[in-house]
Amino acid sequence: MKNIILSPSEVINQYIETCAILLETASNGDYKRGNKEHKKILKVFKSLEENLDVAKASLPILLEHDNIATRVAAAAHCIALNIFVDEAEKTLENAANDESNKVHSFDAEMTLKVWREQGYLKVYIK
């Protein structure tokens, strides 16, 4: 089953909305709600796999977003799609050193570690 192709603005809006909730749920412990949001971002990622032009138009913008969860997710997805890898790596390194949000800085650190050890990054099992 093919995923629906989203426009760049729809992708950007979904990342921002979902990652705001992920940031909130990581701090308040509402993991049930957070898990639901992870499913949403996974659907968006699958859409980007099918249309790299949309990924290339939306993910660089998200690498610069104020929300650390948004930057980390966008950077991981760039690496998984093998686009903007240098920018994504720098974004993850900066996030890994961000002491203001331990959960997402650890996520960035582990994403870098796995990618560097494996040489690739998978977002989900196919």
Just give the CATH number of 8-118: 1.25.40
- pTM listed for this prediction: 0.92
Q: For residue 16, what are the CA distances in angstroms to 2, 23, 113, 117, 125?
A: 24, 10, 25, 29, 24
Q: Are 105 and 111 in contact (CB under 8 A)?
A: no
Tokens of residue 66, six digits: 């104020």
Nearest to 51 by CA among 107, 90, 115, 3: 3
How confident is the model at residue 3, as a pLDDT?
A: 59
In the chain, the DSSP E strands lie at none
**Interval 80-109: pLDDT, tens:** 999 999 999 999 999 999 988 888 899 999
- Cα–Cα distance for residue pair 108/96, rounded to 1 Å: 5
Domain boundaries, the chain: 8-118
Over the stretch 4-58, which tens digit does the pLDDT of each residue have? 778 999 999 999 999 999 989 988 888 899 889 889 999 999 999 999 999 999 9
DSSP structure class, residue 99:
T
**Helix, strand or coil for residue 87?**
helix
Q: Quick one: how far is CA 68 from the chain centroid?
A: 10
